[in-house]
Homo-oligomer: A and B are copies of this chain.
């Protein structure tokens, strides 16, 4: 595998840092190539603004069209282009972060906001038939995405009836709305719970889990999200009545029989 590991923790000497080092070492020892985007260490700029599009001259900034123009012209800021080059190289993308307010830390959300520009990660159409390529198709299709996170909560609170929402509900905007949207195959997320009070035994188990899941990323079964263009949705992008009839909520976004 060619693995791009995107890491978003402010402290190298953290549980997250230990787990990252374990995962990277396991991959390297198994002969895989790993490149790292350590966002805090890179002092990654988190906020989309006009500086992302240095040649943009429109007095009124319209982000989507400005990013599209800059992407097509090759004039996005250099830090964004460097991430595109890494993503082009990678067949597997690991996003590792501490879960803050049930989502990515701002620095990682800003990596998504700034790197996943129009023309690169969305707003792409098939030249042969003009259909929009998203949700299972797109420029990043063929790559696999694995989320690795640490959370203070204990596991039951993220279970199917836990107060925080089951993990794939809390992560729906990232797993489905971002990674699957761009075309990537999304692996079941790896979560380390109770991260703020971890025994030595629990740390060993967590490291072992992370090593195992990154090593099997190429072969593990992705989440069975529905494709936009495989006939499940009507012209308004509403699920046809034949699929999960009468149902709503999270479950309908998985293919029946594959849940």
> Which A residues fall within an 8 A CB radius of B?
10-11, 13-14, 40, 46-50, 60-64, 98, 100-107, 109-110, 112-114, 116, 135, 152-154, 156-157, 159-166, 169-170, 172-174, 176-178, 181, 196, 226, 228, 233, 236-239, 247-253
Contacts and interface: CB of A to CB of B under 8 A. Distances in A.
A157 to B, nearest CB: 4
A116 B103 CA distance: 14
Contacts of A247: 161
Nearest to A251: B249
A101 B178 contact: yes
Contacts of A109: 101, 103-106, 109
A182 to B, nearest CB: 9
Nearest to A177: B102
A48 B106 contact: yes
Given A40-B49, A116-B101, A177-B101, A161 B252 contact: yes
Contacts of A11: 60-63
Contacts of A249: 166, 169, 249-251
Contacts of A63: 10-11, 98
Contacts of A64: 152, 196
Given A40-B49, A159-B238, A236-B157, A10 B61 contact: yes
A161 to B, nearest CB: 4
Contact of A157 (B50, B106, B238, B252): B238
